[in-house]
Amino acid sequence: MVWTRLSALVVKELLAAFRDPRGRMALIIPPLIQLFLFAYAATLEVSNVPIGVVNQDWGAQSTQLISRLEHASAFSEVRHYASEKDAQAAIDRQDVMVVVEIGQDFSRKLVSGETPSVLVLLDGRRSNGAQIVNSYVNNIVAQYAAEFGAGRGPPPDSAIVDRSWYNPNREYRNAMVPILIATLPMMTVMMIVGMSVAREQELGTFEQLLVSPLQPIEIVAGKSVPGLIVGLAQCAVITLIVIFGFGIPLLGSALVLFAALTAFLLSVIGVALFVSSLATNQQQAMMGTMVVVMPAMMLSGFSSPVQNMPDWLQPLALANPLTHILVVIRGLFLRDMPTLLAAQHIWPMAAMAVATIFVAAWMFRRKVQ
Amino acid sequence: MSAPLVSIDNLTKTFAADAPAAIETLTTQIRAGQVTGLVGPDGAGKTTLMRLIAALLTPSAGRIDVCGLDVATQGPAIHDTIGYMPQRFGLYEDLTVMENLRLYADLRGLPDSARHATYERLLAFTDLARFTGRLAGALSGGMKQKLGLACAMLRSPKLLLLDEPSVGVDPISRRELWRMVYALIADGVGVVWSTAYLDEAENCAEVIVMNAGRVLYQGDPKAMTAQMAGRVYQAHGAGSARRTLLARALTEPQVIDGVMQGEAIRLVMAEGAAPPDAAAIGAPPDTRITPAAPRFEDAFVAALGGIPKHPLTPPARKDFSDTRVAPVEARGLTRRFGDFTAADDISFSIRRGEIFGLLGPNGAGKSTTFKMMCGLLRPSAGKALVDGLDLYEAPSAARAQLGYMAQKFSLYGDLSTRQNLDFFAGAYGLSGARRRDAVAHVIETFDLEPYAKTNAGELPLGYKQRLALSCAIMHEPPVLFLDEPTSGVDPLTRREFWAYINAMVGRGVTVMVTTHFMDEAEYCDRVALVYRGQVIAVGTPEDLQSSVRSEERPQPTLEDAFITLVEARENAHKEAA
C-alpha cells in the first residue's frame, strides 16, 4: 500500500520533470554549458598577459633580465615605457596590470656584488591576477639574480625548491573542474525539489495530496527520490565528461565517490524541502534557494580555503555539506584518498541529510494545522 | 431609446488560421444608460468580444465603433473613455486598498486636482472607506470585485465592461454590485455585464446570448423568457426517488431540460410537446405535476438546443447502503485564529446517500469548516469524523474514505489525462489490476478516451470537471467532498456534473458541498447556513424558504431566504452589541 502510493508519487514527479520538452532541456543544457564555461573561462591562471617595463639602466644585465621576461610563457609581450609616469598612465588605462621598473644602478650594483632593487608596480584593482603575475616576476628576478651570483661570488645558502604534490603541473583545471560534479547537480536538485512543492501549492494540487491517504513522510520521500535520481544521473554524466572529456583521471574509488555524492545530494534535498516548506509560492522558493546556495558556495572552500576563514565562521563551514563533498571529490580525483578518510566526511553529510529531511517532514505535518 | 454607444458591424475574430473563428460575423449594438447582459457558455466568445470592444484586440474583419471611435485605429482614445474590469482584475495583493486606487489613478493619468474628490466618491460608492488600509489580498471575493470596479471607474467612463464580475462573490455582495451598477446607469453610463449566472440576465435591460462566436438572441430577456410559457413544469412529491426520476425524465425526447429544485424537479418540454406524464416517466403515484413560471435559464438552455441526450450514468459498482454509522459528522468543531473564532462549536451529522450543503457568505467560516472536515485544518476543539474515523487521529484511513474535489481546477496541468488518473489511483493505494480497472472504468464512464493523451491543462472546461471528479472517485469513496464544484461553470456543464453526482448519490454515496451559488444549493437535500462561525439554520431548502415566507414575499427564492436569514442574524447581533 505504502509502496503503491510512493511509486505513484515518484512516477508523477519524474513525468512532471521530463514530459515537457522545455523542462527536459532545462535539466540537461544549462549544466553542460556551465561545465564548459567553468572549465575554460573562469580560470584563475594568468597567461598571455602583457607586462610593462621601465628600464632606466643601460647595462647588459638589465637587458638580460628583460629578455627573460620576454621568454616567460606567462607573458604575451613586454611593453616598454620611457618613464614611471608613462607606465602609470598605462596601468590607469588597464593596458598592463604589472610594470617592472629597473633602477639606474641595477647593473652596477649587480656587478659590484651589492643587492640591486627592482620596483614592481601592481594594479591593485585586479589584485588577484596582479598577485599571481607578481609572483612570476619575483621568481624570474630571483632566479636571474641567483644565476648571476652563481657565476661570481659564493652561492646562496639555500634555495627553495617546490613541488606540488597531487597536482605536479599545478593545473588549475585539475583542481577546479572535478568539484563541478557536486556543485552543478546541487543547483539542479535545489531547484527541482525546492520548486516542486511550491508549484503544487500555487496550483492547489498540494491540498489534493494532503487530502489523499499519503502521509507527510511519504510526500517527503516521493519528492526526494526523483530529485536523487535526477541528481545522481547528472553527477554521473559530469563525472564521465570530466574523466574522458577533460582527461582528469579519477585516482580514487568510484564507489566511494558515488556513496559520498548520494549522501551529499540527500542533504541538499533535505535543505531544499525545508526551504520549500517555508515558501508559499514559487517566487519565494526561488529566493529561498538563492539565500541558501550563495553562502553555501562561499563557505565551502570552493574558492578560498576554509582554514583562512575566521574561527567563528569555521564551524558553520563544517556544517555545510558542500565543504565535505569538495574535500572528498578533490581527494578522490587528485590522489587516492583512503576510504576511511572519505568516510569521515561522508557521515556528517549523511547526518545533515537525516536531520533536514525529518525537519522538512515535520514542517509538512505542521501545514495541516 | 438612446443612441448606440457601441456599434459592431460584421465582426469576425480568428486567432489561428486553422482554428474556428472565436467570433463570427457578429452585428449588434450596445446602448448607453442600461445594463447589457452578455450571456453564453464557456468558450462562447464573451471575453474575446469584451477585449475587442476595449480595443485590446484588433478585429480580423468587420468594424467596431466605441463612442464614435474605431477600435482598430483609435485604441488609446477608447482606453480613455471606457472602464474595463477583466475576469481576474489586476489588483496588487501586496498593496492596500488605497495604494491600489492611487496606482491605478497614476496609470490612468488622473489629474491631481481631481483625485481627492474621486477617491472619496468611489470609496463611499463601494463602501470600502473603512478598509482603505487593508491589503487587497486580504479582502473577500466580493470586496475585491468592488475595489476592481472602483479602479475601473476612476476616469468616470462612459462605457463600463465587466467580465464575469460575480464569480466567487456571495449573494449579498452580488446584490450590492448590482445596486452599484444600477446607480451608474442612472447617470447615463452604459454597462456590459458578462455572466454565466443566468438569474443575473433577468436584471439586464437587454441581453446578448452568445454561443460558439454567434449571437443566438438579442433583446429583452423577459421576451426571451416569455417564449417558454407553457413549457415548464414542476413535479412535486417524488421524495427520495426524485433523483432517479430526473435521470429517467431526461432520457425522454420531449424533455429538453431538467434540474432539481429542492424537493421538486423542474422539467422543460420541447416546443409544442404535451405536458409531462407522470406515469410515462415512471414517477411514484402521488407525484403532482404542475405548470411553473419560466425562467431565463429555461429559455437559454432551450436556445442552446437543450441538454445533451447522452446521459453518462456511472453503473453501480459498490453499494454503500450500510447505515450503522453516520458517514460524515462534525462534533463541536471549533477553530480559532488568535482572538478570532472562525468556526464556533459547529455540529452536524450527514445521513448516508444525502447531499448536504454548507452555505454562507464569504468569510463566514464555511471554508474553515469544510477544511476541517477534509483534514486540511486541525480543529482547535471538537472532532471531524468520516465513516466514524477521526480525521486527526486516523488521518490516512479516514482520508481513504473520502473523495475531494477542490474549488479551482487542481490537477497536474502538464500531465496527460491518463497520467493524472494513474497518479491519483496510485495515491489512493490502487495498484496493478485494480488500478487498471479503476482507470479504464472512469475513462469509459466519463467518455475521456478522446482526451486520454491530452494535457489536463488543455482540456475543455467540461472535461476538466469530469477529470477532476474522476480523480476524486476512482477509489470509490463512500463520501465525496465538493468545494464550490460548479462556480463559474456554464449551465450545460453544470447540469452534466450534477447528473453524475445524482447518479452516485443514488448508490448511497454521501456528498458534502460548499457553495454560495443557489443553483447548487437547490440540489442539496439539506443545507446548513453558516454565518459568523456558527450554523444559523439547518434544513431542507424548502424549510429555509418557508421560514422567511411573508406577506410581501409569498414565494421566496432560496437566495431570498439566505439573505433574509443572514440579515436577521446580523441585526440581532447589532442589537446585542
- Residues A240-288: tens digit of each pLDDT: 999 998 888 888 899 999 999 999 999 999 999 998 888 888 888 889 9
Beta strands in A162-206 (DSSP E): none
pLDDT at B317: 57
pLDDT at A186: 93
C-alpha cell at B247: 435521470
Phi, psi of A103 (to 5 degrees): -70, 165
**Shortest distance, CA B372 to any CA of chain A (angstroms):** 9
Give B378's contacts in chain A (Cβ within 8 Å): 368-369
Q: Which residues contact A58 (CB under 8 A, 6 or more apart)?
A: A107
Which parts of chain B register pLDDT below 50?
A: 1
Give B430's contacts in chain A (Cβ within 8 Å): 4
Average pLDDT (A106-115) is 81
Count CA within 13 A, CB hemisphere, residue B227.
16
pLDDT at B439: 93
Phi, psi of A190 (to 5 degrees): -55, -45
Residue A124 buriedness (CB in 10 A; 0-12 / 13-18 / 19+): exposed
- Alpha-carbon distance of A369 to A210, in angstroms, equals 12
Check CB contact of A199 with chain B, cutoff 8 Å: no
Give A23's contacts in chain B (Cβ within 8 Å): 414
3-class DSSP assignment, residue A114:
coil
Give B481's contacts in chain A (Cβ within 8 Å): 211
pLDDT at B436: 92
Check CB contact of A305 with chain B, cutoff 8 Å: no
Q: Assess whether pLDDT exceeds 80 at residue A67.
A: yes
**Shortest distance, CA B472 to any CA of chain A (angstroms):** 9
pLDDT at B346: 92
| CB-CB under 8 Å, B396 with A7 | no
Check CB contact of A363 with chain B, cutoff 8 Å: no
- Alpha-carbon distance of B235 to B245, in angstroms, equals 10
**Chain A interface, best mutation among B374, B376, B377, B479, by max A CB count within 10 A:** B376
Whether the CB-CB separation of B267 and B252 falls below 8 Å is answered with: no
**Chain A interface, best mutation among B423, B475, B476, by max A CB count within 10 A:** B423
C-alpha cell at B179: 445596486
- Alpha-carbon distance of B35 to B188, in angstroms, equals 10
**Shortest distance, CA B93 to any CA of chain A (angstroms):** 14
Whether the CB-CB separation of B499 and B247 falls below 8 Å is answered with: yes
Of A19, A214, A368, the CB nearest to B427: A214
- Alpha-carbon distance of A178 to A175, in angstroms, equals 7
Of B376, B413, B427, the CB nearest to A9: B427
pLDDT at B334: 93
**Shortest distance, CA A30 to any CA of chain B (angstroms):** 22
Whether the CB-CB separation of B523 and B542 falls below 8 Å is answered with: no
Of B508, B505, B511, B500, the residue nearest B314 (C-alpha): B500
pLDDT at B109: 81
Q: Assess whether pLDDT exceeds 50 at residue A333.
A: yes
Check CB contact of A18 with chain B, cutoff 8 Å: no
pLDDT at A159: 55
Q: Which residues contact A128 (CB under 8 A, 6 or more apart)?
A: A44
| CB-CB under 8 Å, B376 with A210 | yes
- Determine the number of helices (DSSP H) and then strands (DSSP E) in chain A: 15, 4
Give A211's contacts in chain B (Cβ within 8 Å): 374-376, 399, 402, 404, 481
pLDDT at A164: 65
| Interface of chain B toward chain A, CB-CB under 8 angstroms | 374-378, 395-397, 399-400, 402, 404, 406, 408-415, 419, 422-431, 435, 471, 481
Pick the residue with more confidence: A355 or A111? A355
* pLDDT tens-digit readout, A114-168: 777 788 888 888 777 777 788 888 888 888 877 776 665 554 455 556 666 666 6
Of B426, B341, B520, the residue nearest A12 (C-alpha): B426
Give B412's contacts in chain A (Cβ within 8 Å): 12, 16, 203, 205
Of A15, A214, A215, the CB nearest to B419: A15
C-alpha cell at B153: 471607474
Whether the CB-CB separation of A194 and A276 falls below 8 Å is answered with: yes
- Alpha-carbon distance of A331 to A256, in angstroms, equals 11
**Chain B interface, best mutation among A14, A200, A208, by max B CB count within 10 A:** A208
Check CB contact of A306 with chain B, cutoff 8 Å: no
pLDDT at B1: 46
DSSP-derived pairing of the beta strands B190-195 and B159-163:
parallel
- Find the helix or strand (DSSP H, E) in which B480 lies: strand B479-483
One-letter identity of residue A291: V
Q: Write down the ipTM of this complex.
A: 0.75
One-letter identity of residue A261: L
**Shortest distance, CA B309 to any CA of chain A (angstroms):** 32
Q: Which domains does chain A have, with CATH numbers?
A: 2-42+171-368 (no CATH), 49-152 (3.40.1710.10)
Cβ pairs A/B, distance under 8 A: 90
Phi, psi of A32 (to 5 degrees): -65, -45
| CB-CB under 8 Å, A12 with B419 | yes
Ordered DSSP codes for B281-344: TT--TT-EEEE----HHHHHHHHTTSS-S---PPPP-------SS-SEEEEEEEEEETTEEEEE
- Alpha-carbon distance of B391 to B374, in angstroms, equals 8
